[in-house]
Amino acid sequence: MKNFDVRWLYVVLVLAILIPMLRPIGIPVKIGTWTKAVHEYMDKLNAGDVVLICSDYTAATENELGAMRDAIVKHLLKKNVKSVLIAFNSQGAPFSNKIVAMYGRAGKVYGTDMVDLGYLAGGEKALTSFFADLKRSTGKDVRGTATDSIPILKNIKTLSDIRLVIETASGVPGPAEYVRQAASYGTPLVFGLSSGLVSSATVYLQSRQAIGIVSGLQGAAEYEKLTGQIGYATSAMDSQSLSYMTYIAAIVLGNVIHFNSRRKPEPRT
Amino acid sequence: MRKELPVLLGSLIAAIVILDYYIKHPTVQAVAKEVIDWGILMSAFALVLASVNLLRKHARAVIRREKNSPYSFILLVLLISMAFFGITQGSKSTVFTWLYDNVLQSVSPSIYASVAFYLLSAAFRTFRARNLDATLLLLSAGLVLVGRSTIGTLTWDGFSWLAEWLLAVPNAAASRAVLIGAALGMVSTGIRLLTGIDRAYLGSE
């Protein structure tokens, strides 16, 4: 047992992910308090409110955060909420295209119901500049239209004029940067984060600097259940759950081998 | 003067940005905004600099036919083609979007997914109850894994509550300590940079 080949665990992990994809189990998803808090707040938005959606994640986490983004945007469309899109991560900018396409399919008009302001380099400096003056810091949208002439931005100058900030992130800039820069404007913050970033963001929930966190693929599945729009995240939860069980099994097996080897001393040669 | 002037300039610019936080006067805000905009321009330029550096390094590898030069060649082809189509046709063009969706967005998650196997191997080898600290770490990791899975919450509702409590209370406490420590460190480093005590950013003699 001491010479157990860990590659058998790799095989188990692959099967744990593949089998539920081919034959779904349908384990029910339980709603967590953090996701519920986000959903309840967004349910109170009114038609015509303008929110800021920031796509600050990389292509590597698109499968996780894309599902979350889709669930949230479907909720916004249901409430007829308008969106201003921006990215402070260079890889996040193309994901705004998907939000524009979702709005387009729902019959919304670009420039009036949503606008894509592209990517602004500079990390936290870009946040400072953008929140102080949304129009001047970008100058024009991705289609080359001057921000002064875009209808949705007509009454918007600073972050205070935005109803809610929805930040989707997998790295930097992340929750810490947004909390630091958005604090003086009083605009509520909601985070959609990859699982690895959640543990460092929970501090902002207790201090009420953020309303809630949609955490990884599980958070996306919970949000899909709350909005009644079952999608990719829910279908992937069976695979995720079984893969988590594989990790638990690996930990247990590792400890069994460890205690077994401690109990049986090596034979003297 | 060669070293004093950059330090003086750095201190002056930092003072303007710090003043903007405390003094809400139009002139101060306007000057601070201009300074920050210049900072954004320099960040954008740094991206270009990084790309040029990457280009030089891998071009040298290809020309000299070093050990991993085929991979350097592939990197150069993709880097140049994405830059070319992005600059000439825009980031919303068909070719750029195709390259982003079918190359970057396929390869990145695949590399990220391979981390799962490293983590599995690490979980097997290192999460061992060797002492009290290791046992507590192992138990909390296990509880969070179970609590964040649908199978765990189906078995017992309490797992979900336990996982959230672990993240919201002990983890948050430790995170706060790290955040405060990091913030104090940043303040200390900032004061050292602004007063010219630390001149490492000026480079060597």
CATH code assigned at A48: 3.40.50.10160
Q: Where are the domains of chain B?
A: 1-89
Give yes or no: residues A15 and A109 share one domain.
Answer: no
Give yes or no: residues A177 and A222 share one domain.
Answer: yes
Residue-by-residue DSSP string for chain B: -TTHHHHHHHHHHHHHHHHHHH---HHHHHHHHHHHHHHHHHHHHHHHHHHHHHHHHHHHHHHTT-TTHHHHHHHHHHHHHHHHHHHHH-TTSHHHHHHIIIIIHHHHHHHHHHHHHHHHHHHHHH---SSHHHHHHHHHHHHHHHHTSHHHHHH-THHHHHHHHHHHTHHHHHHHHHHHHHHHHHHHHHHHHHTTS--GGG---
**A-B Cβ pairs (cutoff 8 Å, strict):** 155
Give yes or no: residues A210 and A254 share one domain.
Answer: no
Give yes or no: residues A246 and A124 share one domain.
Answer: no
Give yes or no: residues A165 and A224 share one domain.
Answer: yes
What number is the ipTM of this complex? 0.80
Interchain contact B19–A (C-beta under 8 A): no
**pLDDT value at A51 more than 80:** yes
Look at chain A and report how many structural domains it folds into. 2
**pLDDT value at A3 more than 90:** no
- To test the contact with chain B by mutation, choose from A21, A129, A246 the residue with the greatest count of B C-beta atoms within 10 A, namely A129
Structure confidence at residue A71 as a pLDDT band (50, 70, 90): very high
Residue-level pLDDT, tens digit, chain B, 205 residues: 677 888 888 888 888 888 888 888 888 888 888 888 888 888 888 888 999 999 999 999 999 998 889 999 999 999 999 999 988 988 778 898 898 889 988 999 999 999 999 999 999 988 888 889 989 988 988 898 888 888 888 888 888 888 888 988 898 899 889 989 999 999 998 888 888 887 777 765 4
What domain range is A13 assigned to? Answer: 1-28+235-263
Cα angle at B52 between B49 and B58, to 5 degrees? Answer: 140
Give yes or no: residues A118 and A240 share one domain.
Answer: no
Taking an 8 Å cut-off on Cβ atoms, the answer to whether B157 and A30 are in contact is yes
Q: Is residue B89 within 8 Å of residue B81, measured between CB atoms?
A: no
Structure confidence at residue A85 as a pLDDT band (50, 70, 90): very high
Please compute the mean of the pLDDT values over residues A105-114 and round it to a whole number.
Answer: 96
Give yes or no: residues A225 and A188 share one domain.
Answer: yes
In a domain, A12, yes or no: yes
pLDDT tens per residue, range A182-229: 988 999 999 999 988 998 899 999 889 999 999 999 999 999 999 998
Structure confidence at residue A107 as a pLDDT band (50, 70, 90): very high
* Mean pLDDT computed over every residue of chain A: 92
Give yes or no: residues A86 and A150 share one domain.
Answer: yes
Give yes or no: residues A136 and A251 share one domain.
Answer: no
pLDDT tens per residue, range A122-136: 889 999 999 999 999
Helical axes A33-43 vs A216-227, angle rounded to 10°: 40
| pLDDT at position B200 | 74
Please compute the mean of the pLDDT values over residues A66-72 and round it to a whole number.
Answer: 94
pLDDT tens per residue, range A151-170: 999 999 999 999 999 999 99
Taking an 8 Å cut-off on Cβ atoms, the answer to whether A32 and B124 are in contact is no
Interchain contact B176–A (C-beta under 8 A): yes
Q: Which of B97, B142, B172 sits opposite A248 (nearest CB)?
A: B142
Taking an 8 Å cut-off on Cβ atoms, the answer to whether B39 and A242 are in contact is no
In a domain, A269, yes or no: no
Give yes or no: residues A23 and A80 share one domain.
Answer: no
| pLDDT at position A66 | 93
* Mean pLDDT computed over every residue of chain B: 87
Interchain contact B91–A (C-beta under 8 A): yes
Give yes or no: residues A68 and A132 share one domain.
Answer: yes
Give yes or no: residues A3 and A114 share one domain.
Answer: no
Nearest residue of chain B to residue A244 (CA atoms): B145
**pLDDT value at A2 more than 80:** no
Taking an 8 Å cut-off on Cβ atoms, the answer to whether B150 and A29 are in contact is yes
- Chain B residue numbers with beta carbons less than 8 Å from the beta carbon of A234 are none
Chain A residues 200-259 with CB within 8 Å of chain B: 200, 202-203, 205-206, 218, 237-238, 240-248, 250-251, 253-255, 258-259
